[in-house]
Structure 1
Amino acid sequence: MKVVVVSDGPFGERAYDTIKKEFECEYIVLDIPKPESIDDFTEFPNEQLEKIKSADILITYTLNPDITFDLVEQVYDNVGYVIVGAWKGKGLKNQLESFKNVICPDIMCELVENGNKIFDEFVSKFGKPKVEIKVENNIATKINVIRDSPCGGTDFVAKDLLGKNISDIAVKAGLRIQHYPCRAGRIRLFSDEESGRYKAATFHHDAFEKALKKKSGE
């Protein structure tokens, strides 16, 4: 599987660093000339466009909504699935998701399988956190990350909590993800940042709690 992460500036590199550990991955910072008017159609460099079209999974972290829409519109038919990591407003979300293979998650660590073979292969490794915990004498002696958040936050939390008492490990997981620091919500102009951070904390809390319940046979 080939994953291409596309950015127009500040976001995306951390996802690239995480994803390349599991899949072939390329990070592209778009080189786009400033349009002369707001009505101009975005022209992407041919070399970059061809690399993007070769992706099985395309993840966009472009903050300009016009660039995001123009890019997705030009390539969605060539790639397996598009994950829009940064989007602004429900109107844009609805437009983008009208394409057959595009998803605009509120935060990247909420991704779960949807029945699409290519998307599900990616989400088997990255998306909503999933862990397994080995416990001895109420201590987490081993924490396996089954599914990491695309930013690498789940792995960060797992390493931090290794060797800790399990009595409050789920609560600590929810707190520690925000010390990564979690960027959930920061890349959406009209989003509630605190809501995004709360979701990320809840997902990590629940992942560790579920792992403990599975371990105890509940």
Structure 2
Amino acid sequence: MLKVVIATDGPYGERAFENIKKDFDTEFIELEQPTSMFMDEIDIPADALAKIKQANILITYTQHPDLTLDLVDMVNKDVDYIIVAAWKGEGFKNQLEGYENVTCPYIMCELEENGNEMFDEFTSKIGKPKVNITLEDGKIAIIDVIRSSPCGSTTFVADYISDKYFSSDDLENIPTEAGLKLQHYPCRAAKMRLFSDEECKKEMASGFHKDAFEEGIKRGK
């Protein structure tokens, strides 16, 4: 079974852990955020490092840039793929993505298959939202979440749509409603990405969910 490790040095990553562990063998590791500004002062405990190296997929929510870079440098040859969820600045992003098996998504719910076997197995369940919608007599009967955003917002939206539109033939408004409902989910991506604009993030996530439900309805017809 695919092994996922989530590493953090702060308040982020726990919700992703709770959601991802429903589909994959997932471990949550808390690292101490360095207090020094110097790279050679960073210390990653040997037991934590050993667990991280056993992962197929590593997701870092570490906010200290030196810790993130040091960790990626130490484990990239052992881990199949690394997703850096928290990063600051295009230069830092380019430096990290200089490693062939590292990606720094602008927003975690944009992840899709890229041809890497392990990454594709992970993103078959987690990443850019995808839902299947079963219709009966032109009305919603079942909504299946095929791929969920890491934070779990896709299930949140699907449950709302299912409750509101079950036995309703108002299919036309469902995608817009799904996008709007995403706005009520407490997304923390913008706060985690120190440089980003919160409204822009929410608009992107909202658009992804609107598209997912639009496509789900088309497939269901």
The interval holding the TM-score normalised by the smaller chain is over 0.9
Where does residue 110 of structure 2 map in the other structure? 110
- CA deviations 1:157-209 (Å, max 9, x no partner) are 11111041423110111111121112232211111221111110000000000
The answer to whether structure 1 residue 193 and structure 2 residue 194 are counterparts is no
Preserved CA contact (<8 Å) 2:59 2:85: yes
Percent identical across equivalent pairs? Answer: 54
Where does residue 179 of structure 1 map in the other structure? 184
User: What is the distance in 2 between the residues matched to 1:207 and 1:42?
Assistant: 42
Where does residue 44 of structure 1 map in the other structure? 44
SS class of match (1:185): helix
User: What is the distance in 2 between the residues matched to 1:180 and 1:203?
Assistant: 14
The offset of 1:136, in angstroms, is: 3.0
User: What is the distance in 2 between the residues matched to 1:49 and 1:25?
Assistant: 15
Letter in 2 for 1:156: F
Preserved CA contact (<8 Å) 2:82 2:102: yes
Where does residue 139 of structure 1 map in the other structure? 139
The alignment's TM-score, normalised by the length of structure 2, stands at 0.93
Preserved CA contact (<8 Å) 1:185 1:193: yes
User: What is the distance in 2 between the residues matched to 1:122 and 1:161?
Assistant: 26
SS class of match (1:16): helix
Preserved CA contact (<8 Å) 1:143 1:158: yes
User: What is the distance in 1 between the residues matched to 2:184 and 2:33?
Assistant: 34
Number of residue pairs matched by the alignment: 215
Distance 1:199 1:32, change over 3 A: closer
Distance 1:192 1:33, change over 3 A: closer
The answer to whether structure 1 residue 8 and structure 2 residue 4 are counterparts is no
Q: Which runs of 5+ in 2 are unaligned?
A: none
SS class of match (1:141): strand
Where does residue 25 of structure 1 map in the other structure? 26
- CA deviations 1:27-73 (Å, max 9, x no partner) are 011035533x5343422000101111110000000111111111111
Taking only aligned residues, the RMSD between alpha carbons, in angstroms, comes to 1.4
Preserved CA contact (<8 Å) 1:59 1:85: yes
Alignment of 1:75-94 (within 5 A): 75-94=75-94
Q: Which runs of 5+ in 1 are unaligned?
A: none
The alignment's TM-score, normalised by the length of structure 1, stands at 0.94
User: What is the distance in 1 between the residues matched to 2:140 and 2:28?
Assistant: 35
